């Protein structure tokens, strides 16, 4: 997956008629950042907060513990996974950037 970033570059030119500026819009196609997500299941107390905040990434299993059903996430899911990790009462959700 790729994301498109837009940068504006301002260029000034000093000519005999005055100072002019040009604006260039530079579009860069960049690979999307990726993060690895995992739950330390030894620490998980099964409260379900993560699955309720970010059900696209976290799910409760038959043992009543959470797991990351998507282990590699991109920018589209990062904010919700991060909010779930910050809301976990025992801080057992790990998010590590890999790209």
* Dist. CA 49–CA 58, nearest whole Å: 9
Q: Does 69 bind ligand SF4 (CB under 6 A)?
A: no
Site string for ligand SF4, 7-46 (x = CB under 6 A): --------------------------------x----xxx
Contact criterion met (CB below 8 Å) for 58 and 48: no
**C-beta of residue 21 within 8 angstroms of C-beta of residue 12:** yes
Taking CB under 6 A as the rule, does residue 50 contact ligand SF4?
Answer: yes
Inter-residue contact 68 to 58 (CB < 8 Å): yes
Q: What minimum distance in Å lies between the beta carbon of 95 and ligand SF4? A: 12
Binding site for ligand SF4 (CB under 6 A): 39, 44-50, 66, 88-90, 92-93
């Amino acid at each position: 997956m790729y994301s498109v970033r837009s940068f504006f570059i301002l260029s000034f030119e000093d000519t005999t008629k005055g100072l002019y500026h040009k604006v260039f819009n530079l579009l860069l196609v960049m690979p999307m950042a990726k993060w690895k997500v995992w739950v330390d299941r030894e620490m998980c107390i099964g409260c379900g907060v993560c699955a309720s905040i970010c059900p696209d990434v976290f799910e409760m299993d038959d043992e009543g513990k959470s797991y990351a059903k998507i282990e590699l996430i991109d920018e589209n899911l990062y904010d919700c996974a991060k909010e779930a990790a910050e809301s976990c009462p025992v801080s057992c959700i790990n998010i590590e950037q890999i790209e």
